[in-house]
Amino acid sequence: MPDSPLDQIKAFADPDRATQMAAYHKVDRPYLGVPNPVLNDLTKSWRQQLDVDARVALADQLWQTNIHEARLAAAKLLTQARIRPDQAVWDLLQSWLPDFDAWAVADHASMAMQKRLWAAPSRLDQVETWTTSDHMWTRRAALVATLPWTKQNHPKPEDLEHRDRILGWAAGYVPDRDWFIQKAVAWWLRDLSKHDPDRVRAFLAAHGDAMKPFARKEAGKYLKDQSE
């Protein structure tokens, strides 16, 4: 690469956009003002040029800069369905959890985690430990990273077991009044309702009254078309 990956990102910096992004995300870190489509193109190019070990090393370097766009690029670099071997990728993604402090960065990293969890569902044992973390963003990641289990219309028996396990985590989150946690519970249920409305109805019958009103409404958003 003629320029370092970070220099390639910085080449698209937009100071005015960066100021707007800083105000929008409300987290004190450097912003460059580089839009997502640019990051998508750059990280796609890097994936094509680098083997897995080099991608992991680059993602780690980009993450450690604490620059908003560099952290997004780090996550995008590791968001791929087929990565073999992938243990180093999973280990790096988990190491980022304590750094989660904003939804955009956390969600990009969680999307990379989704791919690794779907590739190796046994990792859900590790994810379960996140649910009792003192760190809100780590607890939230347990639901965002497991969203693939909301999406099957005809799940295998083992996937139904995983679905019910994760719903158990969500039930444990209901007493948590944090807005982001309530939103994550609602997100999981809303997505699941498109494919498994009966499970969502059962969850809401058991726990809906204890959820914050906005979360209960969001969770049932798509049930109204099914005569809920």
Give the mean pLDDT of 63-73: 98
Collapsing DSSP states into helix, strand and coil, what is residue 135? coil
Q: What are phi and psi of 28, to 5 degrees?
A: -80, 95
Q: Which CATH architecture has domain 1-133?
A: Alpha Horseshoe (1.25)
Residue 88: its pLDDT value, please?
98
pTM assigned to the model: 0.95
225 band by pLDDT with thresholds 50, 70 and 90: low
* Start-end of CATH 1.25.10.90 domains in the chain: 1-133
**Average of per-residue pLDDT values in the chain:** 96
Residue 98: its pLDDT value, please?
98
Alpha helices, DSSP H, located in the chain:
5-10, 15-25, 36-49, 52-64, 68-77, 87-95, 103-119, 124-130, 136-144, 157-173, 179-193, 197-207, 213-219
**Quick check: 14 pLDDT over 60?**
yes
Count CB neighbours of 201 within 10 A.
17
d(CA 36, CA 22): 15
DSSP label at residue 86: -
Give the residue carrying structure tokens 């750059």. 42
2 band by pLDDT with thresholds 50, 70 and 90: low
Give the mean pLDDT of 63-67: 98
CATH of 146-227, one of 1.10.260.40, 3.40.80.10, 1.25.40.290, 3.40.50.1010: 1.25.40.290
CB 185 within 8 A of CB 219: yes
Residue range 191-204, pLDDT digits in tens? 999 999 999 999 99
126 band by pLDDT with thresholds 50, 70 and 90: very high
d(CA 78, CA 56): 7
Q: What are phi and psi of 54, to 5 degrees?
A: -70, -35
* Start-end of CATH 1.25.40.290 domains in the chain: 146-227
Give the mean pLDDT of 133-149: 98
Residue 228: its pLDDT value, please?
40
Q: What are phi and psi of 29, to 5 degrees?
A: -155, 165
**Quick check: 26 pLDDT over 70?**
yes
